[in-house]
Each structure stands twice: as C-alpha cells, then as structure tokens.
Chain A
Amino acid sequence: MVGSHKKLKKVIVSVLLIIGAIFAGFPVLWMLACSFKTTAKIFSWPPKLFDESFNFQSYVKVLTDPQKMRFFLNSYIVVGCVVVFTLIIGIFAAYAFSRFKFPGKGLLNSLIISVQAIPPIVLLIPYLSMIVAMKLFNTYYALILTYTITTLPYCILMMTGYFNSLSKELDEAVMIDGGSRMRALWQVLVPISIPGMVSVGMYTFMNAWNEYLFALVLTKTTEMRTVPIGINLLMGQHVWDWSQMMAMSVVGSVPVLVLFLFFQKYFIAGMSSGGVKG
C-alpha cells in the first residue's frame, strides 16, 4: 500500500517536472531551432522544431558582420572594466566593514543595502545631464562609471560577508610580522577569497552584460552600442529577418551561458544569498 502510494507520487511529480521543463525550456529551444532555419520556414504551418532548411547561414552572417562584432567588442570592454573596478573598490570597502569599528558604520551599511532599491530610471534623468556636462556622453567611460555604481553595493555586501567568515588572526599574523594592513588584505585575505570573488565577479559580469536602459540613453552612435542594444536594433534594421535575429540572440547569450554552466556552484551560491538583480 505504502509502496504504491510512493509510486503514484513519483509519477505525478515526474509529469509536473516535465511540464515545468517545457514551460521553462521550450521558448529557449525554439529560439535555438529558429536560428538554424531560413526565415520563411520559421512560419511554416504546422511549425517544426527542425526541418530540411537546417543551416548555419545566419551565424555566418552575424559573425562576419563587423558592425555586430563591434557590439561584442564594446560589451567586453565595458563589462571587463566594470568587473575589475567593482571588485577593487568593493574589496577595499568590504575590508573596512569587516575589520574596523567606526562611527557611522551601521548607517553606511544600511545605505549601501538600500541604494540597491533606487529605480534606475530615477538616476538616469540626472545622469544624462551629468554625463553630458562631464563630456562623457557616448563613451565607454559613461557606461563603465554608471555600471560600477550600480554593481558596487552587492559586491561590498557579499565581500564583507566573505571576509567576516575569515579569521582575524590571519591578518593579525601579517601585522605582527611587521606587514601593513594593505599587505594583509592583498596578500593574505584576497588570495583565499577567490571563490567569493568569482561569485561576485560573475554577478557583476552578468548584470553589466545585460544592462539595457543606461546603454540606451547614455550612448548614441551605432559604434558605441552594447550587445543588448545591438540585438534590439536588429528588430528595426533587418525587417524581420528572424533567423538572423535569433542567431544574434544565441551568440549574445553565449558568454553568460558559458559562465553559468562552468561556475554553476558559485552562481547559485551568489543567487541564493539575495540582493541580486536579474
């Protein structure tokens, strides 16, 4: 009796699990399938997942188009700088929060948590005039600067948590030997914090890679656009060349997808500790 009850439960859960997987995965599979078809076949009736028009033409077109490759170059430059700056500035701040007691600490900490709640659209209005006044409009600097601001709070909070989990005796040992605090931080704490930094770095990468709104307003020319804007621009440009648009979407998603698959453990650790924008 108990055995059959358990079997029934397993069947029900399996069915639900598969329905869930179709809900989550089918749209992605459809995107992948369409990127290998010709546009005419995408709207054939009844639709087929794969058909005889299977080809790599759209990928060849995307990967050999210098303009589209420029979007990728821009994204890599911006995102690379953002990850490096966020980590460096964030590690300094996290060290202060983890190893010192100072007036204003609690207040500053609350502020850092709460600034993550400020709507980007609110900041964008003054940012546009500030960036124009600083003569940074339509440059990498505009994006690097604004993205660093938005990714920094999460980095500080996560790294503070990470440093708190490391014993204070570690840095005290360095200082007893006559080393400075800087040395304790960069030669002792940072090297053993690599897992935490990978997790934070990936989140920073993902958030910066996916950012759309700031890039839309703070850059203007096609040469300065990033991947998300580039993908969106295709809609107007290619008069519904769906095959090529899907190929570009797939290519544009690969960097984050690869990071996710290789570093799943860190990814999930970072995600479940909250405070991450998706």
Chain B
Amino acid sequence: MNKARVRQKLSPYGYLAPTIILMVVFLVVPICMVISYSFLNNAVVVKESVFVGLDNYKKILADSEFQGAIKHTFIFVIVSVVAHICLGMGFALMLNSDCFRTRTKSIFRVIYILPWIFTASVIALLWKLILQPGGIADYLLQFLPGVNKNFSWLSEGNIVLGVLTFVNIWCGYPFYMISILAGLQGISGDLYESAAIDGATGLKSFIYITIPQLRSVLLSIGLLDIIWTIQSFNIIWMLTGGGPLNKTETLSVYIYKLAFNSSQYGLASTAAVFALIACIILAIFYVKLQRKASD
C-alpha cells in the first residue's frame, strides 16, 4: 500500500527524468562552468589556470572594443525591434483588412512570410549578392537623385551597421506579423461595431481598441525579440565578421572572436556572463508575463 503511494508520488519525476538529466548536464553545469571560467586566468587552454578574482571583469569593462560591442548591440536591438513591430503591425493590418478576398490575402501572406523561412547563411549570401559593388542595390540607387554613389555597402564604416540592421529587419518581421495577425483575428468584431456607433473609426478605433487588445501579444513577442536580437550572431558574422574596424561587432561576435579566434576563454566567459545576465533579466519578465496571461 505504502509502496504503491511512493511510486505514485515519484512517477511524474520518472517521466521528467530524461529532461531533468539533460537540463542539469547540458544547461546547469555549462552555465556554472562559464561563470567559473570568468574568474580564472587562461581558462580551458591551461590545465592549472589560477583564480584571479575580478581581474577579467575589470579588463573587460575597460576594453573599448567591449564598450563598442555593447553600443552596437544596443543600436541594433532598438532599431530592429521598433521596425519589426511597425512592419509586423502594418502588414498584419493589411492582411486583416476587409478590402480583399481571402484567396488574395493568403497569397500575400505566403509572400510576406518568405524571408523568415530562409536559413541565416542563405540570407547572408543573398544580401551579399544584392549589395555587391555593381550589384542590384547599386543599380537601384542611381535612380535616387542627389545620391553620391561612391561607397561600398558592406565596407563603408558609417553605414554598414545600418545595412546589417536592415537585413535583420527584413528577415525578422514575419514573426510579429503572424503573431499580431492571430491576435487581430481574436478581437471580437462587436468591439469595433459599438465603437463605430460612438463615432470612433479608423485611427481612433486602432488606438483605443486594437492596441489595448493586442497589448499582451505585443509585449511578449517584443520581449522575445529583444532577447533574440541581443544574441544575434549568424548574419553579422557572415556578412561582415564584425568589421570594418569592429564597427559592426555586437556582443555575440565579440564573445565568439575572443573565445574561438584568440582562445581567451576567460575573458570571453566574462563577456558571456554579461550577456547571460541581460537575457536572464528579460527572461524573468517574460515568465512573469506568461504567468499573468495564463491566470
């Protein structure tokens, strides 16, 4: 009798055992390793690396390349996320409008999702081709009056971060569009009808009905997007590798170069701890938001 009850109590852990084991071995342990590396001199490379306290942290914080990486990441994230929301909202509203037949809308929906389907290396290659000197971007630019076409898209220091942000905007907005579209379809038509009776249409109904109704969707995808964009590495790495002169180096690229190009695992781990803390703080907000939504 007692035995059966113990079994009953333990059985959920049995089902969870593979997950818990994997999470402990490949998430908890590695994170502890990264944190411990950040206090060591020559971690990984030398067997007998010494504890150096906060030395790595002091070095990292004083490194102008790190400060640059933080700044670039910040710009990249803010511009990307704002543009994602605007484009996603705009496209979702158009696809949800009653101007077109369902058939037309579903064709456009497929086209609009397209950029999201491709893997980062295809996106990088594709935009590299478009932005090549003498490529199609240069061709289109000559139709703009008053633009002095005397630069190369991916090596002109002042614009290249903007170019990368643009590419990131291009391939990231569909996620918003789909989530917002699902949210829009969940808003009851009655709300708009009663608002119309009160004389609120167009912009007014958008501000007073659509936005508040979508609030939780927008907040949670916005948070997720901030987390993902902070981590973004692939497209930047393949298009510029952080160059020219580190002008497009973001946090992930900075960490990658320190760890895997110059084998400074201690310093790389220190920078990684900063990225981890930022993402965990955001994740806590996200979890709270999800909890609130499910209550």
Residue positions of A touching B, CB distance < 8 A? 9-10, 13-14, 16-17, 20-21, 23-25, 27-28, 30-31, 34, 42-43, 45-47, 89-90, 92-93, 95-96, 99-100, 102, 105, 108, 110-130, 145-146, 148-149, 152, 156, 181, 209-210, 212-213, 217, 227-229, 231-232, 234-235, 242, 245-246, 249, 252-253, 256-257, 260-261, 264, 268, 271-272, 274-278
Contact B139 A213, beta carbon cutoff 8 Å: no
Q: Which of B104-159 contact A (CB under 8 A)?
A: 108, 110-122, 124-130, 132, 134-136, 139
Contact B33 A148, beta carbon cutoff 8 Å: no
Contact B279 A126, beta carbon cutoff 8 Å: no
Contact B121 A212, beta carbon cutoff 8 Å: yes
Contact B178 A272, beta carbon cutoff 8 Å: yes
Binary A-proximity of B243-270 (CB < 8 A = 1, otherwise 0) = 0000000001001100110000100110
The CA of A265 and the CA of B211, in the complex, are separated in Å by: 25
B128's closest neighbor in chain A, by CB?
A235
Point out the residues of chain A lying under 8 angstroms from B182, CB to CB: 268, 272
| 28 residue pairs A–B, Cβ–Cβ below 8 Å | A14-B100, A21-B111, A21-B112, A25-B114, A34-B129, A90-B19, A93-B18, A96-B15, A100-B15, A102-B9, A110-B287, A112-B23, A120-B233, A121-B256, A121-B272, A124-B259, A125-B34, A125-B37, A125-B272, A156-B19, A213-B234, A213-B256, A246-B125, A253-B117, A253-B119, A272-B178, A272-B182, A275-B224
Point out the residues of chain A lying under 8 angstroms from B113, CB to CB: 260
The CA of A128 and the CA of B233, in the complex, are separated in Å by: 17
The CA of A268 and the CA of B113, in the complex, are separated in Å by: 10
Point out the residues of chain A lying under 8 angstroms from B114, CB to CB: 24-25, 28
Q: A118-B31, A123-B30 are in contact. Are A148 and B9 (CB under 8 A)?
A: no
- Give which listed residue, B117, B178, B290, contacts A113 with CB less than 8 A: B290
Q: B77 near A: Cβ within 8 Å?
A: no
Interface majority SS on B: helix, strand, loop or mixed? Answer: helix
Stretch at the interface among B59-67, B91-99, B187-195: B91-99
Q: A126-B34, A228-B121 are in contact. Are A121 and B252 (CB under 8 A)?
A: yes
The CA of A145 and the CA of B269, in the complex, are separated in Å by: 22
Q: A118-B27, A130-B30 are in contact. Are A278 and B259 (CB under 8 A)?
A: no
The CA of A120 and the CA of B276, in the complex, are separated in Å by: 10
Contact B117 A257, beta carbon cutoff 8 Å: yes
The CA of A46 and the CA of B224, in the complex, are separated in Å by: 42
Q: A46-B139, A93-B15 are in contact. Are A120 and B231 (CB under 8 A)?
A: yes
Contact A122 B272, beta carbon cutoff 8 Å: yes
Q: How large is the interface on B (under 10, 10 to 19, 20 to 34, 35 or more residues)?
A: 35 or more
Point out the residues of chain A lying under 8 angstroms from B82, CB to CB: none
Contact A125 B259, beta carbon cutoff 8 Å: yes
Contact A152 B34, beta carbon cutoff 8 Å: no
Q: Which of B44, B125, B127, B238 has the most CB of A within 10 A?
A: B125
Contact A246 B129, beta carbon cutoff 8 Å: yes
Q: A111-B23, A115-B23, A212-B234 are in contact. Are A31 and B30 (CB under 8 A)?
A: no
Q: B181 near A: Cβ within 8 Å?
A: yes
Q: B13 near A: Cβ within 8 Å?
A: yes
The CA of A229 and the CA of B230, in the complex, are separated in Å by: 22
- Give which listed residue, B97, B111, B130, contacts A25 with CB less than 8 A: B111
The CA of A212 and the CA of B220, in the complex, are separated in Å by: 26
- Give which listed residue, B9, B273, B280, contacts A117 with CB less than 8 A: B280
The CA of A209 and the CA of B122, in the complex, are separated in Å by: 12
Q: B206 near A: Cβ within 8 Å?
A: no
Q: B209 near A: Cβ within 8 Å?
A: no
Contact B231 A121, beta carbon cutoff 8 Å: yes
- Give which listed residue, A102, A114, A118, A119, contacts B287 with CB less than 8 A: A114
Point out the residues of chain A lying under 8 angstroms from B34, CB to CB: 122-123, 125-126
Contact A271 B178, beta carbon cutoff 8 Å: yes
- Give which listed residue, A105, A119, A152, A242, contacts B275 with CB less than 8 A: A119
Contact A27 B11, beta carbon cutoff 8 Å: no
The CA of A126 and the CA of B112, in the complex, are separated in Å by: 38
- Give which listed residue, A24, A117, A145, A234, contacts B286 with CB less than 8 A: A117
The CA of A24 and the CA of B222, in the complex, are separated in Å by: 21
The CA of A28 and the CA of B110, in the complex, are separated in Å by: 12
Q: B74 near A: Cβ within 8 Å?
A: no
The CA of A123 and the CA of B23, in the complex, are separated in Å by: 12
Contact A249 B126, beta carbon cutoff 8 Å: yes
